[in-house]
Structure 1
Amino acid sequence: MRKLHSVTQPSAQGWLGTSGSATQQIINKTLRIEVPVDKFPNFNFMGRILGPRGNSLKRVEQITGCRVMIRGRGSIKDTVKEEKMRDKPGYEHLNEPLHILVEAELPANVIDNHLNYARKILEDLLKPPVDDTFDDVKEAQLRELAILNGTESPAHLLMTPFNNPGMKRPKTRQ
């Protein structure tokens, strides 16, 4: 597997045909990112990568133009089903440690930028919080889930004084 080094946010210009050559060669590349479950066995990497209703993973795919697939031991939520599928054709990856495959089929002049950008986002998601009492990614995902479930409205979350640490809670009379 080829290692990619530079990380830049990909630009849609060029591979959509706006300023690039229409005859640009389309290539397919895949990169593998190991999930550090051995270093952090109690951390919920699957939940962190997927996010509420799979939205975090979908967002990475949408932003980068790459396909993201979670593979390996622990990639199937139901452990009994995973054990049954382990040696069946197409499920050989279940014998490997948990990992992420990022696949792109894009013009040669932009594919590395897209893959690097996906790698950067995913590696940031795979970093457990330094402080166990505060996890900004998990907090944002829980807020998103509350919005999706209808228990919080997006307008309410934007207007709350608790989103701005410089604001104080308004005093109320009793």
Structure 2
Amino acid sequence: MLDITRDRPIKIAVRVQVPVRDHPKFNFVGKLLGPKGNSLKRLQEETMCKMAVLGKGSMRDRKKEEELRLSGDPRYAHLSEDLHVEISTYTAPAEAHARIAYALAEVRRFLVPVSTNTVNNSAMTRLALRKGIKFSRFGSTTVSVEP
């Protein structure tokens, strides 16, 4: 039950399933994290929610992931679950629900397994600009020029 009259901060956390069973060959973790983890960082700043990619397949090193999963440590219990994104926020009830709704809509864009999409293109554009590379797109061809 929520007490919305006092505006006391509440923590809301939701888990969003990543559709790896429907699309086993698609790299959802790479798409969510983006170059150097910048996509997820930007998404967290934009939505004002904390996000974490958790579950089986969330770690780069598969052997280490298996080792940690079998260790029985409660910190790594998520490695026994399906791949998911945990979204959480801590604020007043109305604001918390609005933030979660916005975050869900934004994360959904990253869970569409299309190889040529605006999410990937914009992330690569930002990385290129950060590295000082000028480029332009002509159809599907990318022309790169070093400064």
For normalisation by structure 2, the TM-score amounts to 0.82
Counterpart of 2:59?
76
Q: CA deviation at 1:137?
A: 2.1
Question: Is there any run of 5+ residues in structure 2 with no aligned partner, and where?
Answer: 140-147
Of Structure 1 and Structure 2, the greater strand share is in: 2
Counterpart of 1:53?
36
Match status 1:137 vs 2:122: no
User: 1-side partners of 2:130 and 2:18: how far apart?
Assistant: 27
Regions of 4+ moved over 3 Å: none
Counterpart of 2:15?
32
User: 2-side partners of 1:84 and 1:36: how far apart?
Assistant: 24
1:25-174 equivalences under 5 Å are: 25-86=8-69, 87-129=72-114, 132=115, 134-150=116-132, 152=133, 156-157=134-135, 160=136, 162=137
Paired residues of 2:109 and 2:119 also in contact (CA < 8 A): no
Q: Deviations over 1:33-80 (max 9, x none)?
A: 000000001111011101111111111111111100111001111101
For normalisation by structure 1, the TM-score amounts to 0.70
Higher Cα Rg, which structure: 1
User: 2-side partners of 1:79 and 1:92: how far apart?
Assistant: 15
Of Structure 1 and Structure 2, the greater helix share is in: 2
Q: CA deviation at 1:98?
A: 0.1
User: 2-side partners of 1:137 and 1:65: how far apart?
Assistant: 19
One-letter amino acid of the counterpart of residue 51, structure 1: G
User: 2-side partners of 1:71 and 1:84: how far apart?
Assistant: 16
Q: CA deviation at 1:104?
A: 0.5
Question: Is there any run of 5+ residues in structure 1 with no aligned partner, and where?
Answer: 1-20, 166-174
Q: How many corresponding residue pairs?
A: 133
Seq. identity, %: 33
Q: Deviations over 1:91-131 (max 9, x none)?
A: 001001100110100111211110010010001111112xx
